[in-house]
Structure 1
Amino acid sequence: MSDIEFSIEGHVAHVRLNRPKALNAINAGMDQALLEAWQEINRNPDIWVAILSAEGERAFCVGADVSGGAERPSRMALGGGLTGVGGPMVTLKKPLVVAVQGYVLGGGFELAMCADVIVAATTTQFGLPETKVGIMGEAGIMHRAIRQLPHRVALAMILTGDRMGAKDALGYGLVNEVVEQEALLETAARWAEKIVSASPLAVQAAKDAVLGRLDWPLDVALATRFEPIEAYAYSEDRIEGRKAFAEKRKPEWRGR
C-alpha cells in the first residue's frame, strides 16, 4: 500500500494519507506524491472536486516528518506546494473537501485549511505546536490561522500552543460540519456530491473569482473582470443550464 492513495470515482478524486503508524506525518516521498495528485486534479477535466482524507483514527496529519533530522529536505513544500510552505504554492482550481479526525497539527492543520469545505470528526484536535517546540519554519500555518479564525483566538493558539476541539472549531466557522468518526467519509462524500451537482465550470469560475480577490478592497473586486466567468458565458454548460431550467429537469453537465 502506498503512503498516498489516489483514485478517481466518477468526477470525484480521492487523495488519502496512508501512514497511520506515523500519524500521517508527511515525508519527502509523500510530498512528491501529493504534488502529483494536485497536478492531476488540476489537469484532468473529468475531475470536478477532490476529497482529502487520512487513514487511522488517531490523526489526520501531524505535519512534516521531522524524524530524519538534518536529512529532511530543507525546502520541502508540505503537500507538494498546496500550502506554499517552503516552496512555490500550487493553486488548486477544483474545490477541495477535507475530512479530518484526531490530531490535526502544524503543517497538517495548514493542509486542512487549504480546503474549501472541512468536515471534522468529534475527536478532532486542531493545534499549532510550533512555538512550544521551537520549530517555526516559514510559519505559513500562522498566516492562515490569523485569516481564518478570529484574531485573538488565532493568536492564543499561536502563542500558547493550546489545541482547539471540533466543537469550538465549528463555533468559530473553521469547519463546516462535525460528525462521529464512523460517518466522516460518508459526510465528506455527500459534500462532494453536492458540489458535483452544480456546473463544474461555474464552480471553478466562482472559486477563482472569490479567492482571487479575497484580500482586495470590495470596490476593486467589484470592478474586476474575471476571465473564467466571462468564458463560462459562452460554454455548453451555460446553455444546458438554461435549457434544463426551462424544461424543468435536472441539468446534465459536461464541463465544457
Structure 2
Amino acid sequence: MSGELLYEVRDHVAYVTLNRPKALNSISHDLDVELEQKWIEIDANPDIWVAVLSAAGDRAFCAGADISGGTGAHSSRLALGGGLTGIGGPLRVLKKPLIAVVHGYALGGGFELAMCADLIIAADNAQFGLPEVKAGIIGESGVMHRAIRQLPHHVAMALILTGERMSAADAERYGLVNEVVPFAELQQTAEKWAAKLTVASPLAQQAAKEAVLSRLGGSLETALATKYEPIEAYFHTEDVKEGRLAFQEKRLPTWSGR
C-alpha cells in the first residue's frame, strides 16, 4: 500500500481511511486504485460484515478528485472512489453495509463518495457542497444525480446551481445524514453504529440491501412483484438455521456469515 490508504479489520468491520490530509484527502490515481482493491476484498471476505469509510486529519473528509496530476490523473477510469461513484468509469455497489464518517469538507466527488454509503455519520463541522459551477467546471458529475435523489428537489437544485455548501445541521434536517456529533466523538460514534450493524445477520443485510437498491428506480408494483435471488438463496444458509435455533433457545444468535 502507498500509505494514502489505511486499512484495518476488527470485529467483522473493515475500517478504510483516506490518508492524504495535506491534500484534503482528495483522490489521487494511486488512492483510486487502492480503494478499488479494498472494495473487492471487502466484498469477497465472508468474515467482513460492515465497512466504515473515514478520513485522516481534521479539515476534510474528501475534496474530490486530485487534479494536480493533470488530465492523466485518472487515466485508469476506475472511477473516483474506486468504482463506488461511477464517474466516468464502472459503478460498484458494495454488497456489505457501508458507513461514511464525514468531517470538514465533503466536496464534489467527496460529497458523492459519502452519498454512496448506506449510513452517514457527520461531525458538526462537516460541510457538503458541489463547487463545480463556481469554478466554471462541469463534467460527468454523478454527484448531481445522487444529490437530486437523496435530498429534496429544491434543496438539491440550490446546491447544484449555486455551488454553496450545506452544513451538517442542515444535512441532518433534510435526512441526508443519520447523526451529527462533535468532531471529538466522531470515531466513537462510527464504531457504535458499526456495532449495531454487526448484531444482525450479515447475509440477511446483504440480501436486503441488494433487493432494495436493485429496484430503487422502478415502481412499487415492480418491486413487490420481483423475486429476489439473494433473498431466496439466504434461506439455505447456516445463518438462517442459527437464527431459528437461537430463537428456540432464547439466546442471542452467533452469526457465521455463511
TM-score (ref. length: structure 2): 0.97
The percent of aligned pairs where both chains have the same amino acid is 63
Q: Which runs of 5+ in 2 are unaligned?
A: none
Contact 1:42 1:94 in 2 (8 A): yes
CA distance in 2, matches of 1:163, 1:2: 30
Contact 2:6 2:18 in 1 (8 A): yes
Contact 2:54 2:101 in 1 (8 A): yes
Superposed CA deviations along residues 89-145 of structure 1, whole A, max 9, x for unmatched, are 112000001100000000000000000010000000000001111222201000000
Residue matched to 1:130: 132
Q: Secondary structure at the match of 2:139?
A: coil
The letter of the residue matching 1:143 is H
CA distance in 2, matches of 1:18, 1:76: 19
Q: Moved runs in structure 1, 4+ residues, more than 3 A?
A: none
The letter of the residue matching 1:55 is A
Residue matched to 2:89: 87
Q: Are 2:189 and 1:187 equivalent residues in the alignment?
A: yes
For the aligned residue pairs, the C-alpha RMSD in angstroms reads 1.0
Deviates more, 1:178-187 or 1:61-70: 61-70
Residue matched to 1:143: 145
Residue matched to 1:34: 35
Residue matched to 2:53: 52
Contact 2:33 2:78 in 1 (8 A): no
Residue matched to 1:251: 253
1:233 Cα deviation after fit: 1.2
Residue matched to 1:223: 225
Report how many aligned residue pairs link the two structures. 256
Contact 1:122 1:179 in 2 (8 A): yes
Q: Are 2:25 and 1:24 equivalent residues in the alignment?
A: yes
Superposed CA deviations along residues 200-219 of structure 1, whole A, max 9, x for unmatched, are 11000000001111111011
Contact 1:127 1:163 in 2 (8 A): yes
Q: Secondary structure at the match of 1:244?
A: helix
Superposed CA deviations along residues 126-172 of structure 1, whole A, max 9, x for unmatched, are 00001111222201000000000000000000000010000000000
Contact 1:28 1:76 in 2 (8 A): no
Contact 1:35 1:80 in 2 (8 A): yes
CA distance in 2, matches of 1:63, 1:80: 12
1:72 Cα deviation after fit: 2.1
Q: Secondary structure at the match of 2:82?
A: helix
CA distance in 2, matches of 1:50, 1:73: 24
Contact 1:105 1:129 in 2 (8 A): yes
Q: Which residues in structure 2 correspond to 1:70-85 (within 5 Å)?
A: 70-74=71-75, 75=77, 77-85=79-87
CA distance in 1, matches of 2:164, 2:103: 17
